[in-house]
């Protein structure tokens, strides 16, 4: 049962156990709320019998006190078993999702956008938090307590019990039958919200380009339509839910009428006493109130399916695993007949084979879309290949835990990601255990001191969100400082100087020259002069190795590499006329 609850509601094992406890606490609370009916029944019986016997008044007073205490106790237990446990589980669920995302191959993120994943971790978890604190335990508690009370009523008088209970299966069937309709409505509402969130995020990120092209009004019009669509879908969603819940509630209220009519007929026939009739009226008036809430809770529980499905998509996605034991002999990177596709039928690499040797610089060049970046990502096991094998020092990287494998790599991307923190702490990302002295030494080797010393707080200066206070070259130097601090034996450079001015490019190339000494270096570059001094060139075209050799040999060959060098040389002579 625990496993089924975990699967059904995307819960941890402890969360499933707490959900059961919460349901039982709600059952206990609902039953305690029915106890005063018994005391009232006894009191009315005494009154109809000629009055309260001497000394029994104290019994009723003590009984009232005990019932109040019992209700307080049951409410306390129910509150702790549902609300407190739910908040703990909500935190566990978010952490579990984040941990799972950390282990999922990066290919998964290519199919998802930021707004969708953020919505799953935050909005979906918040919705389920409300479901597990309000809806599910109360629904389970209402159903179980109603079954127990119904059995008691059947023993007391089956005719009156049937007149009171016939509405229950009909009402729940109406709401239960709305499951598919609700799922479709919820999915459309969710799609509208994600589209709106994407639009807002895109607008904020692209505001500079929108202003530069006088496109704000046109974009705002489209964004307003997305916001209106969220509003429309929400209204439709609420109306679709209300149509079923209100209909079921109306049916439920008919139970009071059928109890009154049946009881009146039986009284007239003399087959029912007034006291039993009175008690049934008391019971059904108390019975239907929580059941009306239960109908709403049932509808809410059904609507959680969409949110849970989104979470399970993450939780059930295959993760990258492997041993934590490194067995490599050296740091040569060898691609052996590697093929890779992001999606079925869309081959990006086809039968790629080459070796990047330790102590050498191996450059990947070629036309855009040739597979250069894909090769570097596969080398670090950001993705898992479809065919072939990649080894580091003879060690198959597909059998190594990704985090352990990445301890061998320092990676400098073209697009640098920085955090809203100080320069010092941004560099320390390369080695969280590094001392300030070690961080400053790495910064100096990457020429970070050239601009950091000019800032008011020097290395303790905050650089803003994603380093917005810095220039592109300054941001790139921080990224290189991280690589220095990590001091890994394998270096991956992905267009590290592609978008920089001449001065910054010179500074960064000087820093990179220090970084790559005695390492296995894999460089991606579009500028042919950047890799003119490489030990080996691998030319990728259409996902295959078109050429391979030293820069001099490839120039003499007069193939694709030579043509790219020629074209770039000609482009340098271009000028505005």
| Distances 543 to 63, 200, 338, 414 between C-alpha atoms, Å | 83, 36, 10, 21
Token pair of 352 as six digits? 């790629």
Average pLDDT, integer, range 295-299 = 73
**Confidence bin at 372 (pLDDT 50/70/90):** confident
Top-confidence residue, 20 or 228: 228
pLDDT digits (tens, 9 = 90+) for 427-457: 888 888 888 888 888 888 877 888 888 888 8
Domain with 187 in it: what CATH number? 1.20.1560.10
The torsion angle over the Cα atoms of residues 214, 215, 221 and 225, rounded to 10 degrees, is: -160
Q: Is residue 140 domain-resident?
A: yes
- Give the strand pairing for 520-524 and 361-365: parallel
Spatial distance between the Cα atoms of 455 and 463, rounded to a whole number of angstroms: 10
For 520-536, what is the mean pLDDT?
Answer: 78
H/E stretch holding 526:
none
Strands (E), 305-414: 333-341, 347-356, 361-365, 387-392, 395-396, 409-412
Sign of CA dihedral 48, 54, 60, 63: negative
Does residue 491 contact residue 516 with C-beta atoms inside 8 Å? yes
Name the residue with tokens 């029944």.
41
Residue 500 predicted with pLDDT over 60: no
**Residue 346 has which token pair?**
């869309």
321 in any annotated domain? no
Whether 476 is in a domain gets the answer yes
DSSP calls for 71-102? HHHHHHHHHIIIIIHHHHHHHHHHHHHHHHHH
DSSP code string of 276-302:
HHHHHHHHHHHHHHHHHHHHHHHHHHH
d(CA 184, CA 196) in angstroms, rounded, equals 18
Do residue 82 and residue 150 come from a single domain?
yes
How far the first Cα of the chain sits from its last, in Å, is 77
Segments forming the whole domain that contains residue 127: 2-314
**Is the domain of 296 the same as that of 346?**
no
Report the 3 state secondary structure along 43-75.
HHHHHHCCCCCCCHHHHHHHHHHHHHHHHHHHH
Q: What is the spatial distance between Cα 303 and Cα 313, in angstroms, rounded to a whole number?
A: 17
Same domain assignment for residues 396 and 263: no
Contact between 406 and 380 (Cβ < 8 Å) = yes
Domain match, 310 and 337 both: no
392's enclosing H/E stretch is strand 387-392
Instruction: Quote the longest CA-to-CA distance of the chain.
Output: 120
Report the CATH number at residue 514. Answer: 3.40.50.300
Distance CA 316, CA 319 (A): 9
- Tell me the pLDDT tens digit for each residue of 461-483: 887 776 777 777 788 888 888 88
Query: Is 326 a member of any domain?
Result: no
Query: Would you place residue 187 in the very low, low, confident or very high pLDDT band (cuts 50, 70, 90)?
Result: confident
- With 70 as the cut, is the pLDDT of residue 53 above it? yes
Tell me the pLDDT band of 504, cut-offs 50, 70 and 90: low
Domain-located, residue 320: no
Say how many domains are in the chain: 2
Residues in the chain: 577
pLDDT: is 246 or 116 the higher one? Answer: 246
pLDDT at 501 over 60: no
Going by C-alpha positions, the residue among 328, 521, 492, 494 that lies closest to residue 410 is 492
Out of 252, 280, 314, a domain closes at 314
- Based on the domain organization, do 304 and 349 belong to the same domain? no
Residue 389 has phi, psi (to 5 degrees) of: -155, 145
Does residue 14 surpass a pLDDT of 80? no
Question: Is 576 inside a domain boundary?
Answer: no
Of 302, 349, 273, 266, the C-alpha closest to 136 is: 302
CA pair distance 107, 402, nearest whole angstrom: 14
> Are residues 23 and 156 both part of a single domain?
yes
177 Cβ contact list (under 8 Å, min separation 6): 244
């Amino acid at each position: 049962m625990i496993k089924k609850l975990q699967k059904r509601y995307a819960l941890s094992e402890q969360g499933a156990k707490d959900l059961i406890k919460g349901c039982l606490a709600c059952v206990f609370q609902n039953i305690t709320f029915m106890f005063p009916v018994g005391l009232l029944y006894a009191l009315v019986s005494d009154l109809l019998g000629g009055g309260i016997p001497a000394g029994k008044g104290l019994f009723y007073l003590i009984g009232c006190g005990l019932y109040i205490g019992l209700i307080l106790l049951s409410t306390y237990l129910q509150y702790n078993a549902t609300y407190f446990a739910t908040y703990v589980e909500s935190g566990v669920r978010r952490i579990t999702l984040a941990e799972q995302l950390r282990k999922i191959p990066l290919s998964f993120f290519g199919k998802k956008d930021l707004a969708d994943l953020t919505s799953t971790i935050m909005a979906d978890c918040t919705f389920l938090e409300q479901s597990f604190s309000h809806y599910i335990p109360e629904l389970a508690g209402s159903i179980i307590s109603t079954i127990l009370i119904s059995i008691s009523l059947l023993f007391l008088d089956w005719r009156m019990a049937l007149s009171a209970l016939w509405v229950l299966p009909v009402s729940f069937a109406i709401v239960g039958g709305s499951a598919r309709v609700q799922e479709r409505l919820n999915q459309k509402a969710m799609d509208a919200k994600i589209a709106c969130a994407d639009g807002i995020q895109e607008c904020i990120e692209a505001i500079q380009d929108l202003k530069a092209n006088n496109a704000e009004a046109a974009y705002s019009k489209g964004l307003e339509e997305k916001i209106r669509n969220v509003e429309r879908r929400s209204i439709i969603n609420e109306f679709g839910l209300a149509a079923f819940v209100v209909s079921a509630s109306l049916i439920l209220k008919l139970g009071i009428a059928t109890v009154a009519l049946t009881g009146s007929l039986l009284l007239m026939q003399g087959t029912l006493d007034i006291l039993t009739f009175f008690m049934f009226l008391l019971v059904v008036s108390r019975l239907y109130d929580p059941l009306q809430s239960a109908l709403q809770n049932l509808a809410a529980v059904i609507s959680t399916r969409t949110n849970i499905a989104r979470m399970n998509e993450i939780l059930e996605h295959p993760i990258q695993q492997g041993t934590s034991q490194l067995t490599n002999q050296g740091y040569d990177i060898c691609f052996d007949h590697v093929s890779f596709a992001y999606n079925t039928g869309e081959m990006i690499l086809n039968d790629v084979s080459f070796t990047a040797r330790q102590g050498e610089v191996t450059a990947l060049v070629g036309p855009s879309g040739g597979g250069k970046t894909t090769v570097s990502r596969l080398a670090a096991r950001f993705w898992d290949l479809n065919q072939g094998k990649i080894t580091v020092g003879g060690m198959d990287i597909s059998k190594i835990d990704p985090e352990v494998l990445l301890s061998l790599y320092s990676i400098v991307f073209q697009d640098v990601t920085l955090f809203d923190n100080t320069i010092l702490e941004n560099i320390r990302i390369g080695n969280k255990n590094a001392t300030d002295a070690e961080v400053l030494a790495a910064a100096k080797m990457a020429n970070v001191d050239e601009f950091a010393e000019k800032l008011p707080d020097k290395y303790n200066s905050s650089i803003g969100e994603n380093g917005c206070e810095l220039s592109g070259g300054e941001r790139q130097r921080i990224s290189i400082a991280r690589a220095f601090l990590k001091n890994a034996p394998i270096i991956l450079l992905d267009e590290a100087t592609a978008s920089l001015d001449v001065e910054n490019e010179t500074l960064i190339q000087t820093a990179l020259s220090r970084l790559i000494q005695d390492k296995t270096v894999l460089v991606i570059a579009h500028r042919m002069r950047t890799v003119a001094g490489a030990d080996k060139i691998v030319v990728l075209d259409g996902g295959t190795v078109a050429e391979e050799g030293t820069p001099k040999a490839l120039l003499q060959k007069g193939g694709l590499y030579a043509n790219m060098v020629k074209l770039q040389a000609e482009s340098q002579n271009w000028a505005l006329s």
